[in-house]
Amino acid sequence: MSTLHHFAACATTGILMSACSLSNCFGREWTSAAGTTIEADLVRVHLDNAILKKKDGKELVVPIAKLSLADQKFLSEQASTVATGGATDAKILKGLTGDLVRVVKGKVKKANFEQPAAIKYLAVYFSAHWCGPCRAFTPDLVEYYNQTKANHPEVEVVFVSSDRSEEEWTNYMLEENMPWYAVQYKKASSSKLKEYGGPGIPCLVLMTPDGEVLSDSYVDGQYVGPRKVVADLQALIEKDSPALTEASALGVAKP
């Protein structure tokens, strides 16, 4: 498993918080603001909580604000390392640099990922304005994205068009008010993301930023549709978000 799979992110006190590299975080001693200590691995950071795993395999959810100032500073420093690309290759994300656009105030404008270090799940959406099933599914995907993205910066979507003209492509994004990124129309046909698409649309493919496919609209050559991929993504999100424990070994009570 690549180091990338151990990253998630959150925004807290204005800082992008990300889980650190394995060499720095495994078997680390953590201290609460009250002075209690525990040795545990840092699995990831989710929202305002650090997810720690003890030697017995039990996961603890500790509010970052309840950790010592030294531990909070450590997490912030690691987040800076991740944000500058020091901890992961993220080859898919890097390959899209300069190729992306986004709808901003009713216009399609060039854009780059706002939080590349945060992205853990990348859903690539192959679709087109002329495709009836696509037009039926897209509003549901828009709604899901809008409901999910605010609390889960680790999720991102990129639209790869099969439209017949740039005008169709532009109208499609504007009419559906697509909130995610899209590969520029002129670059869509040659994009490396194309190799992940199936023979038909709508097609949604869920992958890591390194290109490992986690879920696909095609299974063993059979079309199962994009809704299965959304369900698989939701299951992964829920698995990544364990319920807060009543109290942890650090002596931190449930907030």
**179-183, 227-231, 251-255: range with lowest mean pLDDT:** 251-255
- Give, in words, the CATH class of 91-239: alpha beta
Which residue, among 208, 254, 245, 237, has the nearest Cα to 52 in the 3D structure?
245
* pLDDT above 70 for 2: no
Q: 3-88 architecture in CATH?
A: Roll (2.30)
Rounded to an integer, what distance in angstroms lies between the CA atom of residue 51 and that of residue 32? 14
Give the residue extent of every domain in the chain. Answer: 3-88, 91-239
Confidence at residue 79, expressed as pLDDT on a 0 to 100 scale: 56
Confidence at residue 78, expressed as pLDDT on a 0 to 100 scale: 65
Confidence at residue 15, expressed as pLDDT on a 0 to 100 scale: 27
Residue 79 near residue 117 (C-beta atoms within 8 A): yes
62-112: per-residue pLDDT in tens?
Answer: 888 889 999 888 887 665 444 433 334 588 998 999 999 999 999 999 999
List, in sequence order, every residue forming a beta bridge with 52; answer none if it has no partner. 42, 60
Confidence at residue 63, expressed as pLDDT on a 0 to 100 scale: 84
Confidence at residue 229, expressed as pLDDT on a 0 to 100 scale: 98
Residue 230 near residue 144 (C-beta atoms within 8 A): yes
* pLDDT above 50 for 244: no
Neighbours of 38 (CB within 10 A): 18
100-119: per-residue pLDDT in tens?
Answer: 999 999 999 999 998 888 89
* pLDDT above 60 for 8: no
Percent of the chain surpassing pLDDT 90: 53
- For 147, counting Cβ atoms within 10 Å of its Cβ (0-12 exposed, 13-18 middle, 19+ buried), the class is exposed
Which residue, among 210, 131, 118, has the nearest Cα to 164 in the 3D structure?
131
